[in-house]
Amino acid sequence: MDAAIQAKINIWLSGDFDQATKDEINRLQQDKPDELADAFYRNLEFGTGGLRGLMGVGTNRMNKYTVGMATQGYANYLKQCFGSSAGASAKAEGVRVAIAHDSRNNSRFFAETTANVFAANGVKVFLFEDLRPTPELSFAIRQLKCQGGVVCTASHNPKEYNGYKAYWDDGSQLVPPHDKNVIKEVDKILTVNDVKWTGGEMNITLIGKGMDEAYIRMVKGLSIYPEIIAKRNDLKIVYTPIHGTGIKLVPPVLSAFGFTNVHIVKEQEVPDGNFPTVIYPNPEESETMSLGLKLAEAIDADILCGTDPDADRIAIGVKDSKGKWVLMNGNQTAVLAFNYLIEARKTKGIAGADDMVITTIVTTPMIDAIAARNGVACYRVLTGFKWIAAMIREKENKEKYIIGGEESFGLMIGDQVRDKDGISAVALLCEMAAYEKDKGRSLYEKMTDLYVQYGFYKEQLISITKKGMDGPQQIAAMMETYRNNPPKEINGSPVVMLRDYELQTEKNLLTGEEWKIDMPQSNVMQFVLEDLSCISARPSGTEPKIKFYFSVNGQLNNAAEFEKVNSELGDKIKAIIADMNL
């Protein structure tokens, strides 16, 4: 065992840790020394979004102690910014936070641990009485005028993982300078003895039904065509919460909208942190949505919707032109939602000259094309809904935010929630399905019509995982190679534009002109080809992965050519991947 790792293990064996933790360390030392080394070789990093990792004992795991130390650092920073020592700008009521959790194993325990540490530090805590979706946590922060918040979730990761997302006073995840400042405060918490664990229980208030009702009213207010739903209230909807928190709010939201024919996937209805029917609780995966697809086919549904365990992601399934059930990818879902809101607002006469939409640098350019043709401002930000929220803040009182979204199956409709919201997305997409059905079309046919109208954009994402202690170094080396020796051409098409978001530069390789990218630094590189294809390379911020995003496009003259053009664009992406040796 490495001496530095053993020294950290010895601290846990001799320190103020519970006996069950010490017993588990001794067991691993005897039976699984490599696993123990991985659990202690580093500290679980409090990144710009919070914590995420495997559950278990050790400094590199999600457990009571790593969660408590993170919370102590976050509490210290909130008190610096908003407490009595913050001076005249301090809130009269002191520091307030809201806390929620999903259905994962230990999520309730982590949420209660977080609540107890905040409360022991004199912070007023609003703790949800039971599991709730992440978007409701964001909503609650704004409703309760909190200065911060936490949701305990690992989103769509496998069951062995859990996580801790930190939020600011506008309901969004942390952005500069607060993200780095919180990290500094967390890093100052060197031992578990620096944590105030108990003593403030009177500062904790349980919340639940009242917040649910306020959230449902807010989502209902997003509806644009309630009269269409009244006509098509029997739209046949299949929904799966994939053993997660969506079951708490999706059925009542759909009922509030007026839908009366909702079918829940029974095998995945009950919240369960073991996710017994799936390998990954991720609605992006066709295997995860297979039970929903089976039910949708059996009852001849109009739309299938699924949300991940914390209900911030949304996936939909529809029937294609041959009547076969297919899953839309995240870019297609975003295109449908953006176009619907832009079109519907124009048709209803409620569109304004100051309307704006926001997407991210790795999301389909088709959204830009739709917005441009409709005279709606479209802004691109870094990946992550915290950057969409930051752009809303920047444009507040100058432009009206309508919708934001990204390719990773996330949408954020309206400005009352400042994180991706699978609940309101289900409602909006079901309303859209009802609207198209009223016109005698399916959502698949609508998507095809949009391809004819704006061009056929096809995207694909591949993720390369690098496990083990040297995984991050391998990923860093890949990015360094792209940065120092970028390809001159890919799949026979010259690279004409190189964007490096880490160096904040964009360069035209044909003319040599260079511009500054007016965004925060991010370790992302983009290669734009002469044929307008775009390849993005981006290491994950939460997992040992590097992600490659591919976007190609072509002309679709009519719906009859769909299969042919779709196949050609798919072959083009395969050729690009092969040429890049990925």
| The pLDDT of residue 89 | 45
* Architecture of the domain defined by 457-579: 2-Layer Sandwich (3.30)
**Could you list the active site residues?**
155
Token code pair at residue 478:
């890949």
CATH number of 215-454: 3.40.120.10
Q: Is the pLDDT of residue 229 over 50?
A: yes
| The pLDDT of residue 90 | 43
Q: Whole-angstrom Cα distance, residue 565 to residue 554?
A: 8
pLDDT band at 93 (very low <50, low <70, confident <90, very high): low
Q: Whole-angstrom Cα distance, residue 483 to residue 492?
A: 20
Q: Whole-angstrom Cα distance, residue 316 to residue 332?
A: 10
Q: Whole-angstrom Cα distance, residue 118 to residue 164?
A: 14
Nearest partner of 316 among 220, 429, 447, judged by Cα: 429
Q: Whole-angstrom Cα distance, residue 79 to residue 221?
A: 35
Minimum mean pLDDT among 307-311, 468-472, 497-501: which range?
Answer: 468-472
Region 217-221: mean pLDDT is 98
Q: Would you kindly state where each structural domain of the chain is located, as residue ranges?
A: 1-41, 44-207, 215-454, 457-579
Region 508-516: mean pLDDT is 93
| The pLDDT of residue 467 | 77
Q: Is the pLDDT of residue 17 over 50?
A: yes
pLDDT band at 87 (very low <50, low <70, confident <90, very high): low
User: What is the average pLDDT value for the chain, to the nearest integer?
Assistant: 95
| Contact residues for 392 (Cβ-Cβ < 8 A; gap 6+) | 358, 401, 404, 415, 418
pLDDT digits (tens, 9 = 90+) for 296-317: 999 999 999 999 999 999 999 9
Name the percent of the chain lying above pLDDT 90: 93
Contact 174, 123 (CB under 8 A): no
| Contact residues for 247 (Cβ-Cβ < 8 A; gap 6+) | 241, 264, 269, 270, 271
Region 396-421: mean pLDDT is 96
* 44-207 and 215-454 agree in CATH topology: yes
Tokens 């441009």 found at: 372
β strands within 49-121, DSSP E: 50-54, 96-101
| The pLDDT of residue 85 | 61
pLDDT digits (tens, 9 = 90+) for 530-554: 999 999 999 986 667 899 999 999 9
Sheet with 148-152: list strands edge to edge: 50-54, 161-167, 148-152, 96-101, 124-128, 204-207
Q: Is the pTM of this model over 0.75?
A: yes
44-207 fold: Alpha-D-Glucose-1,6-Bisphosphate; Chain A, domain 3 (3.40.120)
Q: Whole-angstrom Cα distance, residue 25 to residue 28?
A: 5
